Amino acid sequence: MVGIIVSCEHASRRVPAAYRRIFSGHEDLLSSHRGYDAGSLVFARRLAAILGAPLISGQSTRLLVDLNRSIGHPGFFSELTRTLPPMKGKKIISRYYYPYRHAVESAISKMIRRDGRVVHISVHSFTPILNGKSRNADIGLLYDPKRPGERGLARRWKQRLGSQLPLRVRCNYPYRGTADGFTTYLRTRFRDGLYSGIEIEINQRLLPLPRDLAAIAADTLSGSV
């Protein structure tokens, strides 16, 4: 059997009440791609519902702390939080970062014990233009090319998605699948064959997302595992 779990690290632009003063006057930043991944939660919910998979999603803006980054990464805290006193930074980590990461990792561990193998789909979206350059893909599938099981899954999914959608699907674009991220960390915890972590990146130019996009993604994923 194969278990499937869906996560969405940058689901929300919400600022917890205790930190609203810090973010006052930065509403435009919160609403931008730096504040959250627009459309990602809608897609993640639809995908998980169709697959009958659990969904774990972030509950606060990535500008508070980035759930998809490792501690020490330059983007872990934003310019609004990295200058906070160390104790306040540790509080953010203990209250928002670790609980999320532990919840996903624990769910994967339990699913491996139950099903023997897990496919983890981490849902993200990306801005069509970054630093003045257009991104020339509609959907990106990020994976580690050195893991045969993961590589095969990503390539099969890409082929099936591309055959059913009038969209450009690319692998390891617009980011490298081995760059710092949650799936990259989880690969250090679970070996290939037990765990396959694929980040799906959706171009925000597609917003509002077609309702059949999640259904096609779910069907083609199911045919690829």
Q: Structure pTM?
A: 0.97
Model pLDDT for residues 20-38, shown as the tens digit of each residue: 999 999 999 999 999 999 9
Model pLDDT for residues 57-111, shown as the tens digit of each residue: 999 999 999 999 999 999 999 999 999 999 999 999 999 999 999 999 999 999 9
- Say what the pLDDT of residue 211 is: 84
Convert 166-188 to b/e letters by CB count within 10 Å (16 or more is b). ebebbbbbbeebbebbbbbebbe
Band the pLDDT of 1: cuts 50, 70, 90. Answer: confident
- For residues 87 and 3, what is the distance between their CA atoms, to the nearest angstrom? 39
Q: Above 90 in pLDDT, residue 191?
A: yes
Cα–Cα distance list, 57 to 4, 14, 102, 157 (Å): 15, 12, 12, 23
Q: What is the DSSP letter of 140?
A: E
Determine contact, residues 61/35, Cβ cutoff 8 Å: yes
Q: Which CATH number fits domain 3-62+102-222: 3.40.50.2300, 3.30.70.1450, 3.40.630.40, 3.30.930.10?
A: 3.40.630.40
Band the pLDDT of 216: cuts 50, 70, 90. Answer: very high
Q: Tell me the residue ranges of DSSP E strands in 88-148.
A: 118-126, 129-130, 133-134, 139-142
Cβ partners under 8 Å of residue 203, min gap 6: 125, 126, 128, 135, 137, 138, 139
Determine contact, residues 29/35, Cβ cutoff 8 Å: yes
If you average pLDDT over residues 191-219, what whole number do you get?
Answer: 96
Q: List the beta bridge partners of residue 197.
A: 120
Q: Above 90 in pLDDT, residue 124?
A: yes
